Amino acid sequence: MVEQKLFYVFTDGGARGNPGPAAVGVVIKNQTGKVLTSFGRYIGRATNNSAEYQAVVEALSFLEKNYLERKAAVVKINFYLDSTLVVNQLNGRFKIKDQKLKNLIIKVKALEEKIKGKIFYHFIPREKNRQADLLVNQTLNQKNF
């Protein structure tokens, strides 16, 4: 029987000013809801949309490096974001006009290819993404922005 790995990933990105000092927040849970990791990371000056994409890149990179070493496993990843724009762009519903965002989606798609799993992007209201949002704000607060 082939092992199935299921992950629930909550990401958020934000900037103080748009563009401005920016950070990402990532919370990754397994199929039982256990938090495998959660982190905030300062990413420098960016727009809110760039930060949202960078959060997805950070989460996919983390999973690829730390949890997806066995390619025999079937991988399913459910992402939850509070950005309708980014969710719709990642799902191919909206075109991407901004070149910086195009470059970030290229990174996302390259990581998706490496993972070779089923990856789904879902919109959730900000209230249901509090953990990732809190990590963004804590990170920016630590930098005094």
pLDDT tens, per residue, the chain with 145 residues:
667 789 999 999 999 999 999 999 999 999 999 999 999 999 999 999 999 999 999 999 999 998 876 555 778 999 999 999 999 999 999 999 999 999 999 999 999 999 988 999 999 999 999 999 999 999 999 988 6
Strands 4-15 and 74-81 turn out to be parallel
- Enumerate the β-bridge partners of residue 98: none
Task: Give the C-alpha separation, 118 to 65, whole Å.
Answer: 17
CATH of domain 4-142: 3.30.420.10
Alpha carbons 135 and 145: distance in angstroms, whole number: 14
pTM of the model: 0.94
